Structure 1
Amino acid sequence: MFSKETYINRRKRLQQKVQSGLILMLGNTDVPMNYKDNVYHFRQDSTFLYFFGIDLQDHAAIIDIDNNKEYLFGDDISLGHIIWMGPQPTMTEKAASIGVENTRPMADLATMVGDALKAGRPVHFNPPYRGENIMWLADLLGCRHNEVQSKTSLELTKACIEIRSIKEPCEIEEMERHMAVAYQMHTTAMRMAQDGVTEQAITGAMEGISMSGGGMVSFPIICSKRGETLHNHDHSNILRTGDLLLVDGGSESPLHYATDHTRTSPVGGKFTQRQKEIYQIVVDANNISREATKPGVTYKEAHLVAARVIASGLKDLGLMKGDVDEAVAAGAHAMFFPHGLGHMIGLDVHDMEDYNDTLVGYMDEMERSSQFGLAALRLGRTLQPGFCITNEPGIYFIPALIDQWKADGTNADFINFDKVESYKDFGGVRLEDDILVTEDGCRILGERIPITVDEVEATVSEGKK
């Protein structure tokens, strides 16, 4: 938990951005895996964590804008719970630790919300993403569960996005400190990229490092030699010398801030010439787009910088043709790079996307594109100092997509389909760093995980010793 003053100041800022009524925030509860008492590892709601800091089940909070009061709701645990869980702080102690003066038993939450609704006062809440909280809100609001989403507060959501987008020094320090765990996860995966090793063994090693470093993985690990599938969670393959292993994985810090990195390694320690050529294009796209990432620039333009580097490099290899700028404008590069350059990262690996990824990534600044590839760009808005984002260009050879575009003649003026056919067994390359936008540019958070051809080959080769 951060200092008490951190949470007090965050709530004050939020209160200043919402005109009237109640701000209602629900924490998360335990979720059963296969029966009631066997639960998934608890993860608190990120908005509740950000403003109230309590990382325990079964809490809620209200900020009464009109009367300038804050309330923490929950129940002190019974002796039976203490036997199973050990001593826990009281509600009064928890409230005091975050600067909240008023506590109430959970049973009082419905009364307070109900009284506000009867008086015609607005009750603001963000879009819920868990079924339990959707049903809880339906009970509190006196509506059907399928009506809850339509009652969410755009005013509150925009206020939360505005505040949470700029990371405070304490947040940056927490993220940067945990980058050491991410470094160990990915260099371990590189060293394990040897002939006969299973994808599952590498995945398990990475998960163990994450847990021993203080937290669970920030999302299910992607670890596959079939890297052309962007979110490939199958870990059933056995690695063979000459394969490319794509590993996209992250860890949560003890305060639940995420890391998110991707590296692609040659199994056995040496890239083939063809692999090295594609890999170097992605390295260039990563570095050049990062140089374009600075305050006042839209992240959409940084994405297009990466797209032009990729299109130019593929043209040099004979896979694309024609004018590079025209090809990117037409979206031809997206057959090889069908996703966005990156996204915000913080308390969520895709930070705040429970609110709405278009709202977070674009606010009111621009329309999100509908063009294939560019439509997948989660972040397009103007960058500001304090933004923490990922930078993850890639090149993929997706047989089904290649076949479809070839059959339809899609972007045939810019793609040499005959040459592309010989790459359909290639797989994919993605390289991802976590970066902080600074006052005059940006910088990589933590020690950079090996990324150059020489660095990666040397790290993989260490696993043979």
Structure 2
Amino acid sequence: MTQPSDASHNPAQEQPLQDRVENRSHRPSSDAFKAFMGSQWQEVEAIDFQPDAAAPYAAQRRAAVSRQFPTDRLVIPAGAPKVRSNDTDYRFRPHSAFAHLTGLGVDHEPEAVLVMQPVAEGSGDDGSNHEATLFFRPLAGRDSEEFYSNTKTGEFWVGPVPTLKELNQRTGLPTKDLTELEYAVTVDAGVVEIGGTRIRLVRETDQNMDALVDTSRINTGVDLEISDALDGELAEFLSELRLIKDEHEIAEMCGSVESTIRGFEDIVRAIPQATKHDRGERVIETAFFARARLEGNDLGYDTIAAAGNNATVLHWIRNTGQVKEGDLVLVDAGVEADSLYTADITRTLPVSGTFTEIQAKIYNAVLEAADAALAAAKPGVLFRDIHLTAMEVLAQHLSDWGILPVSVEEALSAEGQQHRRWMPHGTSHHLGLDVHDCAQARREMYLDAPLRPGMIFTIEPGLYFKNEDLAIPAEFRGIGVRIEDDILVTQDGAESLSAHLPRTVQEIESWMAQVWNS
């Protein structure tokens, strides 16, 4: 039998490419099925919701943004789902700026958008210069095809989502259907000098929103290059707004830290099993992941479970290595709460339960650097000086061990820095909704800024001696040590939120023995 020619048979014309993903489905489409699917469902009981604990704090944050940009329309998208593979997405997590300004964690729809509309000075929300509205896709009725046919938004597939009323009550924000979003974003938009309203957008969060705003700008004669700079100013301010944590944020951070500490106990409990597995690092990683999902939303970042020489790879997340008796295992992990605030803690543990003499010597040097950095942290001290304090301690130890090729003074100078061969990363970073929080803040507001009460950041010095490093004695090779704690600046000093997770050699050895014997 002859095959039909290309001219007579073109499968692409029969079924569009974008529709073929549904070829695996056997969904009925008869009118009888549709009528039956839309009937005999129990009515959903109407519930009144109390405001979320974060709601009043989010309102204060929006007021601060309104003061900064009093006449501009501000558009803050939650973001869209990200494809993991073909038609499967990663678990959705909203953009941190959206979460910060709405107070919402994970309980809302992807593609939601917060729009802050400028109004007459002082006539907006709580006396601000804006009226904020939350746009999102509400639950489809059970009498609609979307209920059972839409794999992205249908309740049959993804479960219930909040109603407009629910999020209004929980956030205190007026809520509207996404179908009204385009008009709200683009109405009267244009060049300010001729009476238009200027838009500022949190970019690269939702491609559709980027396209909508850019198209509006092009159609109204707004300069795109200038607009990009204005959008950048919004991102910068929203990042800097998170530098000082309020009471609610501090409480959420403390909860994340406590869950993370329990996760580290799970890690210790899993170490004996890890030594028996070809991918022992994965055993450790999995133990912590279970805690993150049980008590929070997810991991705050991919867990680093690095044994032996892998601990000298700063961001080792493959976690495919063996966990061998006599080695150290460096674990850098954090639980992200349902509110999306994450902890970030590192401990370096002896696989056998006790440190060798050389391991303890290196560990104690790192511990001394961490303690010195914490002692230096207090209001008014420059953020960058925390790092410099830790480096002074580590450089001195490297010199005492005969490893540093120059004097301590020369190494610590800007022209030297030889000690950084074994400690190439920074000692601290801000922490909060993002593990590396406030990343768009200006240098003078971050690295060169004085510490202020309410700041939360890490202190995490380390020493990393690679097997391949011929500049060090053989006994040092293959050892990586990092100690990381989460620090809150107080009115008169600083407090380690993770202080009761064992840190000293003696504490760790005693703790591990207690866990294994319990």
TM-score in terms of structure 1 length = 0.85
Q: Which residue of 2 aligns with 1:212?
A: 294
1:157-199 CA distance string (max 9 Å, x none): 3432332211111111121123221111112223433443511
Partner of 2:456: 388
Give how far 1:351 is off. Answer: 1.0
Which residue does 2:276 correspond to in 1? Answer: 196
The verdict on how the C-alpha distance between 1:13 and 1:191 changes in structure 2, with shifts beyond 3 A counting, is same
C-alpha distance in 2 between matches for 1:234 and 1:281: 28
- SS in structure 1 at match of 2:271: coil
Gaps (5+ residues) in structure 2? 1-51, 121-129, 148-153, 219-223
SS in 2 for 1:227: helix
Q: Which residue of 1 aligns with 2:6?
A: none
1:322 to partner: Cα distance: 4.3
Q: How far off is 1:295 after superposition?
A: 1.0
CA distance in 2, matches of 1:449, 1:149: 47
CA distance in 2, matches of 1:168, 1:397: 40
- CA distance in structure 1 between the partners assigned to 2:297 and 2:182 by the alignment: 34
> 1 or 2 for the larger relative contact order (CA 8 Å, sep ≥6)?
1
CA distance in structure 2 between the aligned counterparts of 1:223 and 1:380, rounded to whole angstroms: 32
1:4 aligned onto 2:55: yes
Alignment map for 1:284-299 (pairs within 5 Å): 284-299=368-383
- Residue 341 of structure 1 is matched in structure 2 by 427
Q: Are positions 1:45 and 2:106 aligned together?
A: no
Offset of 1:425 from its aligned partner?
2.7
> 2: distance between equivalents of 1:439 and 1:251?
27
Q: Say whether 1:18 aligns with 2:98.
A: no
Partners in 1 of 2:301 and 2:158 — Cα distance?
27
Whether contact under 8 Å (1:138, 1:148) holds in the other structure is: no
Q: Secondary structure at the match of 1:268?
A: coil
For residue 135 of structure 1, report the CA deviation from its aligned partner: 4.3
Q: Cα deviations across residues 196-245 of structure 1 (Å, max 9, x unaligned)?
A: 35111111011001111122110010001111000001222221111110
Q: 2:85 aligns with which of 19, 31, 34?
A: 34
For the 8 Å contact 1:344–1:351, the answer to whether it is kept is yes
Query: CA separation in 1, counterparts of 2:353 and 2:226?
Result: 53
Q: 2:115 aligns with which of 33, 55, 62?
A: 62
Do structure 1's residue 182 and structure 2's residue 244 form an aligned pair? no
The residue number in structure 2 matching 1:371 is none
Would the alpha carbon gap of residues 91 and 429 (structure 1) be closer, same or farther in structure 2, given more than 3 Å must change? same
* Aligned residue among 134, 149, 161 for 1:72: 134
SS in 1 for 2:343: coil
Identity %: 28
Quick one: which amino acid aligns to residue 462 of structure 2? G
The alignment status of 1:95 with 2:168, answered yes or no, reads yes
- 8 Å CA contact 2:240, 2:438 repeated in 1: no
Q: Deviations over 1:84-139 (max 9, x none)?
A: 444443223312322223x33323322233234335322112343x4xx1343123
1:445 corresponds to 2:497: yes
The alignment's C-alpha RMSD in Å is 2.4
Shift of 1:458: 2.1
The amino acid that maps onto 1:196 is K
Cα distance change, pair 150–13 in 1 and its aligned pair in 2 (3 A): closer
Describe the SS at the equivalent of 2:299.
coil
Range moving further from structure 2, 204-213 or 442-451: 442-451
Paired residues for 1:125-274 under 5 Å: 125-128=201-204, 130=205, 133-142=206-215, 150-194=228-272, 195-197=275-277, 198-225=280-307, 226-274=310-358
Q: How much does 1:350 deviate?
A: 1.0
Structure 1 Cα separation of the partners of residues 268 and 289 of structure 2: 14
Shift of the 448–158 alpha-carbon distance from structure 1 to 2, 3 Å rule, reads same
CA distance in 1, matches of 2:323, 2:330: 11
Deviates more, 1:269-278 or 1:113-122: 113-122
What code does the residue aligned with 2:417 have?
G
- Letter aligned with residue 138 of structure 2: D
CA contact (8 A) 1:384 1:437 kept: yes
| Aligned equivalents of 2:516, 2:69: Cα separation in 1 | 59
Q: Deviations over 1:52-109 (max 9, x none)?
A: 13431221111112443222212322120333444443223312322223x3332332
Distance 2:229 2:382 in 1: 31
Cα contact 1:126–1:152 (8 A) shared by 2: no
Larger Rg: 2
Structure 1 contact 18–155 (Cα < 8 Å) conserved: no
Deviations 1:7-65 (A, max 9, x none): 222211210111321011101233332233x3321212111111113431221111112
Q: Is the 8 A contact 1:393 1:430 kept in 2?
A: yes
CA contact (8 A) 1:187 1:449 kept: no
- Equivalent pairs counted in the alignment come to 425
Please give the alpha-carbon distance, in whole angstroms, between the structure 2 residues aligned to 1:384 and 1:205.
36
Aligned to 1:369: none
SS in 2 for 1:211: helix
Amino acid corresponding to residue 163 of structure 1 in structure 2? L
Match of 1:153, SS state, is helix
Q: Give the secondary-structure state (helix, strand or coil) at the position aligned to 1:192.
A: helix
Distance 2:448 2:270 in 1: 36
Bigger shift: residues 424-433 or 26-35 = 26-35
Corresponding residue SS for 2:434? coil
Asked whether the 8 Å contact 2:430–2:456 carries over to 1, the reply is yes
TM-superposition CA deviations, 1:421-449 (whole Å, max 9, x none): 52563231000000101111100114521
